[in-house]
Structure 1
Amino acid sequence: MLIPFLVVGGLGLVLLVVSLVIGDVLDHFELGDGLISGTALGVGLTVFGAAGALTVSAGLELAWAYVLAALLAVAGYVASVVFVRSLARSSDGVPASAVGLSGVATATITASGGEVSLDGPGELERRLAYADTAIAEGSRVRVIEHSCSRVKVIAEHA
């Protein structure tokens, strides 16, 4: 009787993938101050299915397979909730704005895109950039807008 475990585990895997790709689907319901998590529920259901299938395949009685799978699923769920909360607490919060920072165009920048390397604290990588007028590679630029990971820049004149 592997079918129930495979179905539950498969549903858990789908929920887990959806929660990781799209975002936590249960996060919008504000249930239990983060106690109900789509990611953690996906982990729990996947662990239930895998543990149940493995215990039945190992020859344990079906009743013991359900008990062991349920215990491991609860442990997986709790571990996931604790891990996600720990990650949320350790996040840096709102990213600092790049408006006002200067840098260098590492590729030609146009209205449709380009790339810059900024001279600010924590600016180790390049950023996607765009500008109203074309800016040649190697030109000094200044950020005038910051939206997500993209910045709008203008050419700096020496």
Structure 2
Amino acid sequence: MLPFLIVGGVGLAVLVISLLVGDIFDHFEIGDGAISGTALGVAAVVFGAAGVLTTTSGLDLVWAYVLAAVLAILAYLLALLFVKRITKSSDGIPLSAIGLTGVSRSDITPAGGEVSLDGPGEVERRLAYSDERIAEGARIRVIEHSGTRVKVVAE
């Protein structure tokens, strides 16, 4: 039972570090996000918990390892999918805002301004800029998207 407790404890530490500091594998270019510290932590915790539960229920040690490993792999895959989905939508910004329309909430100049866009997940104002001055309240269309800023033109 001790190996299950150790793996579960290490997994809990990895999970807490990943949640507090950020994913510890983000800085490495490994498999385009195929390795996630959060998902590894979840898998290790599930492995440890499943191993302890199956061992205390009287199952043979070999089957405890097999069951714990299968559950850990399933937990890893589910956690990885969940982490990827959350990461893609965590800031509420669509993958590309190009083509979205909206309304300018302030005067927009090359130096900047604010817009509200009509699109899925667009609930707040967004920083915008334009080559030409656009008056507040005018309808706009996004032609470029960089991070949270968008370049707009008047419609």
Both proteins in one fold, TM over 0.5: yes
- 1:85 paired residue number: 84
Asked if 1:16 is matched to 2:15, the reply is: yes
Same amino acid, percent of matched pairs: 55
Structure 1 unaligned regions, length at least 5 = 95-99, 102-119, 125-158
Secondary structure at the aligned position of 1:29 is classed as: coil
Pairwise mapping of residues 61-76 of structure 1 onto structure 2 (< 5 A)? 61-76=60-75
> Could you give the per-residue CA deviations for residues 99-152 of structure 1, whole angstroms, max 9, x where no partner exists?
x96xxxxxxxxxxxxxxxxxx85469xxxxxxxxxxxxxxxxxxxxxxxxxxxx
- 1:6 paired residue number: 5
Q: Distance in 1 between matches of 2:14 and 2:43?
A: 10
In structure 2, give the amino acid aligned to 1:45. A
4+ residue runs of structure 1 moved beyond 3 angstroms? Answer: 120-124
Q: Distance in 2 between matches of 1:123 and 1:3?
A: 50
Structure 2 unaligned regions, length at least 5 = 95-104, 107-114, 117-122, 126-155
Q: Distance in 1 between matches of 2:93 and 2:12?
A: 29
Scaled by the length of structure 1, what TM-score is found?
0.59
Q: Distance in 2 between matches of 1:30 and 1:68?
A: 31
- Between the two proteins, the alignment pairs up a number of residues equal to 103
How far 1:12 moved relative to its partner? 0.1
- 1:112 paired residue number: none
How far 1:93 moved relative to its partner? 3.5
How far 1:88 moved relative to its partner? 2.1
How far 1:87 moved relative to its partner? 1.5
Scaled by the length of structure 2, what TM-score is found?
0.60
Pairwise mapping of residues 1-158 of structure 1 onto structure 2 (< 5 A)? 2-91=1-90, 92-93=92-93, 122=123
